[in-house]
A = this chain, B = another copy of it.
Amino acid sequence: MDQQETEISELGEFGLIDRLTKDFPIQHTQTKLGVGDDAAILNFGEKDVVVTTDLLLEGIHFDLRYVPLQHLGYKAAIVNFSDIYAMNARPRQITVSLGVSSRFTVEHLDALYSGIKRACEIYNVDLVGGDTSASVTGLVISITCIGDVEKGEEVKRSGAKPTDIICVSGDLGAAFMGLQLLERENSVGAGQKDFQPDFAGKEYILERQLKPEARKDIIELLKKEGIKPTSMIDVSDGLSSELLHICKSSGVGCRVYEDKIPIDYQTALMAEEFNMNLVTAALNGGEDYELLFTVPLTDHQKIEKMKGISMIGYITEPQLGAALVTRDGSEVVIRAQGWNAFDGEDK
């Protein structure tokens, strides 16, 4: 440990919380009481409150050998904001709980919190509480996000109707290919002192993996255009998995066209380099944090004009099931092969 580093035990639990949270401004008058009491107090008046939570565990959701702590903090906040936007709501407050192993210094946590703080600034969210503890094992990050939505404006997974158009924002598969690249460079470079990873021209897929954004812009754009999706979900586990969630919750089937799935050029190049199936990466890769939603057929023309949104298929009667229509016109049943946190136990 060099001289700039501070042992967490020097500050103690409350000293640490003070240090980590003191620079977070309260941005909403709605936030009546933030960090520093038994609980936070929020005033939501006549809006509905929206709540989501995510648990990130070292060795399962992230690998500190190649994920910078600032980025990890940023991403940990973003994945929660993304869930709130997926309800057509706005994130307003978060609580952050940390389990910290003894190899961490205060400066490490400063870095983690600087990423959380940046995300809170950009997305206009208040930090209002949390819990901080030692961990005998790896780093644990548990974030709960609270948002609000005007009554009647919420969008659930359950409202999709046959003939609705299936839309997705941005492009898919990039975060997954970014992860493959990071893992490869990490294993190639292991033990080599002056190893320089080869990231040139691959900035986009790396950023998609390390520093994703939540699609606040899409929610605002849809509102501006007067479009209210009939169902919506964010793409965290992979397009296949999310399509099945919408179909199951809405009691419908779907057809999605392989050639309509939006994929970035860097993602395609990387898949080729890895000799991976590009569509599989896009369908099952996950961590895209794009919005998958359905709109009535009558919104077709409006959506067509909107940048950054792709129409990839349509909703069917339930008995038709969920299928991918391949380039040659055949249908392949969609199965959830997205990221599953319990998969590891089968391998």
Contact = CB atoms under 8 A, between A and B. Distances in A.
A130 B341 CA distance: 14
Nearest to A33: B156
Contacts of A345: 7-9, 102, 134
What's the number of copies of this chain in the assembled complex? Answer: 2
Nearest to A9: B345
Contacts of A310: none
A53 B132 contact: no
A48 B55 contact: no
A273 interface: no
Interface in A45-99: 45-46, 48-55, 57-61, 83-84, 86-87, 89, 93, 95, 97-99
B134 A51 contact: no
A300 interface: no
B156 A342 contact: no
Interface residues of A, number: 79
A39 B89 contact: yes
Nearest to A49: B42
Contacts of A2: none
Contacts of A49: 41-44, 49, 146
A154 interface: yes
Given A8-B342, A14-B336, A53-B142, 17 more contacts: A9-B343, A9-B345, A12-B340, A33-B156, A37-B158, A38-B83, A38-B86, A39-B86, A41-B49, A43-B49, A51-B128, A53-B95, A55-B133, A59-B137, A60-B135, A134-B342, A137-B138
Interface of A: 7-9, 12-14, 16, 32-33, 36-46, 48-55, 57-61, 83-84, 86-87, 89, 93, 95, 97-99, 102, 128-138, 140, 142, 144-147, 149, 151, 154, 156-158, 232-234, 249, 336, 340-346
